[in-house]
Amino acid sequence: MNQLGFPILTTITFLPLAGAILLLFVPREREELLKWVTLIISLVEFVISLPLFIYFDEGKAGMQFVEKVPWIKEWGVTYYMGVDGISLLLILLTTFLTVLCILSSWRAVEKSVKEYMISFLFLETGMIGAFVALDLILFYIFWEVMLIPMYLIIGVWGGPRRIYAAIKFFLYTMAGSVLMLVAIIALYFLHGKATGVYTFDLLKLYQVSLPIKTQYIMFAAFALAFAIKVPMFPFHTWLPDAHVEAPTAGSVILAGILLKLGTYGFIRFAIPLFPAAAFKAIPVISVLALIGIIYGALVSMMQDDLKKLVAFSSVSHLGFVMLGMFAFNVQGVQGSIYQMLNHGVSTGALFLIVGMIYERRHTRLIADFGGLSRVMPIFATFFMIVALSSIALPGTNGFVGEFLILLGTFKANPVYGVFGATGVILAAAYMLWMFQRVMFGDIKHPENRGLKDLNFREIVTLVPIIIMIFWMGIFPKFFFKKMDLSVQHFLYDVKARYEAAVTAPEGGGFLVKGVKGSKVKLLIKE
Amino acid sequence: MIEYVWLIPLLPAVGFLFNGLIGRWYNLDKRVVSWVACSVLGLSFFFSILVFFSLLKLPPDARAAVPDKVLFDWIVSGGLKTVIGYKIDPLSIVMAMVVSGVSFFIHIYSVGYMHDDPGFTRYFAYLNLFVFMMLTLVLANNFLLMFVGWEGVGLCSYLLIGFWFERDAPANAGKKAFVVNRVGDFGFLLGMFLIFAHLGTLEFNEVFAKAHLLDPVTVTMITLLLFVGATGKSAQIPLYVWLPDAMEGPTPVSSLIHAATMVTSGVYMIARCHVIYSMAPVSMAVVAIFGAATAIYAASMGILQFDIKRVLAYSTISQLGYMFLAVGVGAFSAGIFHLMTHAFFKGLLFLGAGSVMHALSGELDMRKMGGLWKKTPITFWTFLMATLAIAGIPGFSGFFSKDEILWQAFSSPHGHLFLWLVGAVAAGMTAFYMFRLTFVTFLGQCRASEEVKKHIHESPPIMTVPLIILAVLSVIGGYVGIPHVLGGRNYFHEFLAPVLGGLPEGAGHASLSLIKSAYAAGAVEEIGSVNWEIILMVVSVVIALIGISIALYLYILKPDVPKRLAQRFRTLYTIVFNKYYVDEIYEACFVSSAKKIGTFFWREFDDGVVDRSVNLVAGLMLWWGRVLRKIQTGYVQGYALGILLGAVVVIIFLIK
């Protein structure tokens, strides 16, 4: 069935869920045990996900480790999972970051440890499932499943305005998802009409070529759902609220993985399903991405709350991801995928770091710090490296992604490239200014004088990230070779179908002739 | 031997890792730290020399054709293939020797200078990291790896300027340096993108081999964008503002990074890219004009400063302007020649300043100095050697390199009489402010407080030996390139010629025709270029001597005159003393407006418009809920009425 001979994707998808169930049987008073069990489960999960990388055949462009079982035959729903070079690295990022999140929660979570750990494992299942699902219904289920534990993590273990933030996060994402659901069902019927095969199988749905107007509507529905998740300007306002209120590990996962599901959604669903519309949308998406880059950076610069600052910097970084993706060339798309990983690693680390000083001082206001380098030299070193990775210094992972994105964008459209590159300057400005205010200068507040430097657990949490920052920055080929063919295949496929759509007679597709955009509504009714 | 070129940058990296990780973690003894830091540098210097000699063994044409030493693939994506690879040719090895050599001496000096600093280990870790990055920059065989070094040295500059981060001034200065450099890097990045978009490669050999495929507009844009990068890193107009502030760092850092090595990267980069610059006459003119303008502009600011390090900082900016003037008129190897001699004498001047500060308990204001020559003789004499060199006194290294630049500015086909004139005047100003500095600091009466006076002492040998070595180099360093007109042989240019080509052979037609028209037409008939070279050489020496004489008059013979002059030309004095208010203008135009825009976007737009509309949608739902709730009264009669009314409506509808 696959190169490993056992259903590895099902295993890594549901192992955390099984772990969550196991936790149900651990008494709630035994908090240390609960933490250890969760940590071990997440570690096992990470170890199991490594063979995916090792045995992934970089010589193949298609899906690997495929598992395909009919599920609801009458409706054409299949239990269909697979991994290609694009999702592979994101899955590893998920299992990697989850371990660090559990470690970082050791002291930060004081109430309802059991429920917290269960939520986290449940969340991991949702995230991995969404990355491996190749059936639209299956994907949608995982996509929605993720919302619940995240909602709880923010709403139960969050800060003072946690309820507002959690509801905003939930409803905002939900509003986008509902439109996507409608589009999924419409697509199902359109494909069924055209071919007589009613299926939610993503790879089969790729084959359908819709008339351009239909594509616009469908693309818009998908794109909205994903754009909210990314979040792209102007759908980003839930993000600062969610980040500020979420507990540290929640922020790490939110920034590190959940946002990537938005960008991943574009590259896996919105673009290849509706290539013609995607190509037509290049100006819109690119301009919004550019606004995100510059606007996010400028707003980030003025924040007084560390978490908000990092949240807005995410808007800026994710703008780069979208910009590169819509360059539609190898450098742009590879840079974009790499930037997703980078952002997961370095912004995840930034949230961990903010969490560490929050645990010590119970404040995140920049003005409450200053001069920490003197009392916390080890912390200062870690913080500096992560900040440099975030501003894409060559030699760190951030540079590889940002450089390729800007290079690809410049090739596709020099004007976008020039505007995008200004983000390089702004990033340095907001990051270093923040670093200076927190770490340099004299110690103004006596409370900061006695701060303890990082303990062993905290160092263990950050060291893997530092290793990744340099590994990904110095030996990017190690990762690129895994995604190379998949990206080239993606581009080839998308471009070919885009050209087929625009050159087809009467602007329609070859499969669903005569179905114009206006008829979509009718089809949905049927 | 050439095979092992990668050891040259790698050794400092090892030193960095050792001191940065093990040294700091285990709090190793200062002796261990300094031995490791200095010996990796010494080895690196040693290997540079070995590679240099293996290169010398090759015939001249083969020296530029040594295959690149490629270690491994770096970023490979689609058509983009970049490697970690090193280029060995006369240009890169000269740079490697200058960088590793000067760094080595400054490292040794630092052992003494930084001895009592609590951040000793951190300092040496950063310093080694810097040398690693700088050597990466000069040895890289492609634009992207050069950019790694380019940003990497910027990082180290940031870390070392802000080394004493507890105080706000160094922390601010470090940040300013980084951000301003990033503005330059923005140009460098775009230049690389353009190269890749048109040629599909970033490797030097391939780019220069394919350069003829570029159209004139593109090549002009590429070279101008790269020059934007150079103005940032090498502190030229308009991005020079960070360098004076960078003096907040420890003095050996100012010497190494902000005088001898890093700030010359832009000159090296243009020399490295001379193939494409030669194709873009407009860019060449821009480089030359900006160089000349910076040379005179910075010199004018250096005249009035009282902080010895700031005088030297403006002097560095000005001297870098000369180097750009050189490469801008096509005299690439002359630019590199001045880069080298400048590394010796300016490195020395800063180290001398450090030694003065050491003697005076950290004092920087030259008004509180004076008469030091007796108590710190080695510092004084070495400082004087460097001053004579930078002033362009015949026989000292600076004379040869500066004079060649001035001659080229005049005679090269890209040259111009005005470029020469600006350069010559700036040379006079240089001589003036440098001697002002020397006179006020070392001669006359000591104006330090009694407390400080008691402690005045010469620095220990670990600091003075590097001073002496650099002083020797400042004196003799120029003899590798004696102009033909003086009957010498220019070994330096001969060595670089396989890479950079010879010096432009022009007879200064443009400049001469200007002179001609200045005379009555036909008054000057035949003008032999050799004569002119001698004449100009004499003129520039005379200008330098005038500068020195004025300094002598104002600061030794009539020390009260400067004050009266300042009184008389109060407005001008204030403007120049305040550095033409450029910092304030930049602050208002860029920094505070960016902050204002950021605040506006955040408070007014993000909170006020975007998020408010999101909340408005949610609010609307709540409002509807509240309205509709009123219908849900729970009274059965009400519902019955509703049903009745509904039925009536349906019936009416059906009947119709």
* Whole-number pLDDT of residue A523: 35
Residues above pLDDT 90, as percent of chain A: 75
DSSP secondary structure code for residue A70 in this structure: E
The beta-carbon neighbor of B166 closest among A301, A441, A480 is: A441
Binary contact (B73, A474; C-beta < 8 A): no
Nearest residue in B to A397, CA atom: B75
pLDDT at B317: 95
Distance CA B310, CA A466 (A): 38
B118/B128 Cα distance (integer angstroms): 18
Cα dihedral B221/B227/B228/B232 (nearest 10) = 170
Give rounded-to-5 percent helix, strand, coil for chain B. Answer: 80, 5, 20
Chain B residue whose CA is closest to A392: B151
**ipTM score assigned to the predicted complex:** 0.90
Is pLDDT at A208 greater than 90 in this prediction? no
Residues of B in contact with A374 (CB under 8 A): 166
- DSSP codes joined into one string, B580-634: GGHHHHHIIIIIHHHHHHHHIIIIIIIIIIIHHHHHHHHHHHHHHHHHHHTT---
Cβ count near B168 (within 10 Å): 14
Which of B26, B72, B75, B600 to mutate: most A Cβ within 10 Å? B75
**Chain B interface disruption, residue of A302, A404, A413, most B CBs within 10 A:** A302
* Distance from C-alpha of B44 to C-alpha of B9, rounded to nearest angstrom: 7
The mean per-residue pLDDT over the stretch B194-220 comes to: 93
- A82 touches A134 (CB < 8 A): yes
Calculate how close chain A gets to B208, using CA atoms only, in Å: 20
Residue pair A259/A317 in contact by the 8 Å Cβ criterion: no
Give yes or no for a contact between B340 and B94, defined as CB atoms under 8 angstroms apart. yes
Q: What is the pLDDT of residue B505?
A: 64
**Which residue in chain B is spatially nearest to A429 when comparing CA positions?**
B179
Q: What is the pLDDT of residue A212?
A: 86
Average pLDDT over residues B517-531: 53
The amino acid at B420: W
Chain B residues near residue A330 by CB distance under 8 angstroms: 77-79
Mean predicted lDDT score pLDDT of chain A: 90
With residue B73 as reference, give the H or E element that holds it.
strand B69-77
Task: Show Cβ contacts of residue B45 under 8 Å, excluding neighbours closer than 6 positions.
Answer: B97, B100, B101, B103, B104
Give the helix, strand, coil percentages of chain A, each rounded to 5: 75, 5, 20
Mark yes or no for CB contact A488/B78 under 8 Å.
Answer: yes
Residue B44 · residue B7 · CB < 8 Å: yes
User: pLDDT tens-digit profile of A231-250?
Assistant: 998 999 999 999 999 999 99
**What element of type H or E holds A65?**
strand A64-72
List pLDDT tens digits, range B122-177.
Answer: 999 999 999 999 999 999 999 999 999 999 999 999 999 999 998 989 999 999 99
Give chain A positions within 8 Å (CB) of B193: 406-407, 410-411, 414, 417, 421
pLDDT per residue as tens digits for the range B587-625 = 888 888 888 998 898 888 888 888 899 889 888 988 999
- CA separation for the pair A32, A113 (Å, rounded): 9
Instruction: List all residues 6 or more positions away from A65 whose beta carbon is below 8 Å from its beta carbon.
Output: A2, A3, A4, A8, A9, A52, A56, A81, A82, A83
Residues A124, A391, A105: CA angle, nearest 5 degrees: 30
Give the start-to-end residue ranges of the domains of chain B. Answer: 280-576, 581-655
**3 state DSSP class of A509:** coil
pLDDT of residue A512: 40
Name the pLDDT band for B512 (thresholds 50, 70, 90).
Answer: low
Interface test with A, best of B70, B77, B165, B168 (most A CBs within 10 A): B77
Q: Residues B58-85: what's their mean pLDDT?
A: 90
The dihedrals phi and psi of B403, each to the nearest 5 degrees, come to: -65, -35
* Mean pLDDT, chain B, integer: 90
Portion of chain A with pLDDT greater than 70, in percent: 95
Q: What is the residue whose two structure tokens read 């030669």?
A: B278
Q: How far apart are CA B524 and CA B518, in angstroms?
A: 10
Model pLDDT, residue B155: 94
Predicted pLDDT of residue B217: 94
Residue corresponding to tokens 């020079």 = B240
Is A393 in contact with B155 (Cβ distance < 8 A)? Answer: yes
Confidence label for A509 from pLDDT (cuts 50, 70 and 90): very low
Q: What is the mean pLDDT of residues B633-641?
A: 85
- Distance to chain A for B79, nearest Cα, Å: 8
Interatomic CA distance for residues A210 and A196, integer angstroms: 15
Label each residue of A454-481 as H, E or C. CCHHHHHHHHHHHHHHHHHHHCCHHHHH
Start-to-end Cα distance in chain B: 103
For residues B413 and B506, is the Cβ–Cβ distance under 8 A? Answer: yes
DSSP string, A278-339: HHHTHHHHHHHHHHHHHHHHHHHHT-SBHHHHHHHHHHHHHHHHHHHHTT-SHHHHHHHHHH
- Give the gap in angstroms from C-alpha A437 to the nearest C-alpha of chain B: 9
Test B165 with A432 for CB contact under 8 angstroms: no
Report in angstroms the alpha-carbon separations of A276 from A209, A215, A279, A327, B63: 9, 7, 5, 14, 54
Express each pLDDT in A390-420 by its tens digit: 999 999 999 999 999 999 999 999 999 999 9
Residue B39 has pLDDT above 80, yes or no: yes
The band of A511, judged by pLDDT with boundaries at 50, 70 and 90, is very low
What distance in Å separates residue B193's CA from the closest CA in chain A?
6
DSSP H helices, B329-416, are: 332-359, 377-391, 397-411
A to B CB pairs, distance under 8 Å = 140
pLDDT band at A430 (very low <50, low <70, confident <90, very high): very high
Region B560-589 average pLDDT: 87
Measured between beta carbons, which residues in chain A are less than 8 angstroms from residue B185? 424
Q: Residue A520's pLDDT is what?
A: 36
Residue in B73, B179, B595 closest to A428 by CB: B179
Taking the C-alpha atoms of residue B361 and residue A113, their distance in angstroms, rounded to an integer, is 58
Task: Report the percentage of chain B scoring pLDDT > 70.
Answer: 96
C-alpha–C-alpha distance, residues A296 and B91, integer Å:
43
CA distance A384 to chain B (A): 10
pLDDT category, B374, cuts 50, 70, 90?
A: confident
pLDDT for position A505: 55
Is residue B221's pLDDT more than 70? yes
Quick check: B598 and A421 CB within 8 A?
no
In this predicted structure, the answer to whether residue A519 has a pLDDT above a threshold of 70 is no
